[in-house]
Amino acid sequence: MAAKDSPLKQFEVIPYSKTEVANYDISFTNSSLSMVITVAVITLFLTLTVNPRSLVPTRMQLISELMYNFIAQLLSDTVGDNAKKYFPFVFSLFMFVLIGNMVGMIPYQFTFTSHIVVTFALASVVFIGVTILGFVNHGIKFFTFFYIPGVPFYMHPLLIPIEVISYLSRPISLSVRLFANMLAGHTLIKVFASFVVAMPFFTGALPLVFIVALTGLEILIAFLQAYVFAILTCLYINDAYHLH
Amino acid sequence: MPQLEQTEFFVSQLFWLVVTFSFLFIFLWRISLPRIGNVLEKRERKISEDLTAAKELQIEAEKIQETIENQLKQARTDSSDMIKSSTLSFQEKAQAELNKLDNELDIKIEKSAQAIEKNKNDSVSQIQTQINEITRLTLSKVASFDISDDEIKKAVNSIERSIN
């Protein structure tokens, strides 16, 4: 367990109530609350700002449309013609990670994307889905994905295992990237915050300035990681269609 | 690190992740995204419709412009033709008028000349008679000759001839 003033204390899951179903603990926790807030923010924003009859969008509607076009463009750029089918999923994924990260930026709010179990679950959904997609599209020929054409034959015993490992490590890299970024950023802010308290007199203002700067950086990273998560998902979907 | 230590909450986190993300996915897929998509599509359609309409109107305007130019050109040639033809006809009329006047004047001159000639002839014949009368009177007063008119006439004529 983290110590009382540890910078990692902010990542502790705190249950609000004890709920068990079939011996499984599904208590509503601060993590669950963050997820619910995230989903509420996304759904309410995308619903309330968009007036289906308006020809000229309001500023808020423009943000929704911007998000829509951003992901639509991203998908069509990477996946191409087959992109439309996966748009709702990639858009949901992007918004969930983005708003999850942003909600985590609010002081005292739990950041569920800083938990490896959550990010790994999301990455696994992508990984398993993309692998199934690859087998559906190519059948057994999907295994040629690990065979790199145009390489001397004696290199294959070396390259094929590397390809397999890199493919299997996709969910790990995808989940750890998001988890580690969130963890590091929030920890860093907390460390500087402890400096503010620890330093004598007004010298505490110096780390405070750092916190302000880091908060800006964290907001950038929050967006960037959501973008990376979405674009990698797009690339994996593309790989499932075009093996090489 | 709570992420790895609090294993007792893994199931809870996964459960709530599935619940919230499924809800989000289905809500966005079924409600939000079609709505935004429709709005964008509608706007796109409206813009392209307006653009097509604008293009059509432009073509129409160009056609109208062309007609106007043609009409102006036609009007210009027409008016210049009219000016030319009217100038010509005026010239002809003037010429005709002048010719008529000339003819009338010629006739008048002719008549006047004839009248003058006649007057001259009359005067000459009158002078001749008077000369004859004066000759006879003079002769009768001076020499009491009684000469017939015919003889006088002959004599005068012979003198006249010799003068001429």
Position B145 scores a pLDDT of 67
C-alpha torsion angle, residues A189, A190, A192, A197 (rounded to 10): 140
Which residue range is the domain that position A154 belongs to? Answer: 9-241
How many structural domains compose chain B?
A: 1
| Confidence tier at A243 by pLDDT (50, 70, 90) | confident
Q: What is the pLDDT of residues B15-59, one digit of tens each?
A: 889 999 999 999 989 888 888 888 888 888 999 999 999 999 999
Give the domain range for residue B150. 11-163
Q: Is the pLDDT of residue B143 over 80?
A: no
ipTM associated with this complex: 0.88
Q: Is residue A227 part of a domain?
A: yes
Are A88 and B10 within 8 A, CB to CB? no
* pLDDT for A2 beyond 50: no
Q: Which CA distances in Å does B56 have to A5, B47, B49, B65, B68?
A: 73, 14, 10, 14, 18
> Nearest CB to A115: which of B13, B20, B38?
B13
- Residues in chain B with CB shorter than 8 Å from the CB of A46 are 28, 32, 36
3-state secondary structure of A150: coil
Assigned domain for B1 exists: no
* Six token digits for residue B95: 């010429």
Of A25-34, A49-58, B73-82, the range with the lowest mean pLDDT is A49-58
The total number of structural domains in chain A stands at 1
A1, A24, A50: residue with CB nearest B39: A50
- Residue B143 or residue A235, greater confidence: A235
Q: Is residue A116 part of a domain?
A: yes
Is A1's pLDDT higher than 50? Answer: no
- Residue B153, in any domain of the structure: yes
pLDDT higher than 80, residue A106:
yes
Report the percentage of chain A scoring pLDDT > 70. Answer: 98
Q: What is the pLDDT of residue B112?
A: 94
Which H helix or E strand runs over A24? Answer: strand A24-25
Is B69 domain-assigned? Answer: yes
Is A139 within the bounds of a domain? yes
Question: Which are the contacts of A80, defined by CB distance < 8 A and separation ≥ 6?
Answer: A238, A241
Residue B5 placed within a domain = no
Confidence of residue A10 (pLDDT cuts 50, 70, 90): confident
Q: Does the distance separating the beta carbons of A29 and B3 come in below 8 Å?
A: no
Residue A4 located in a structural domain: no
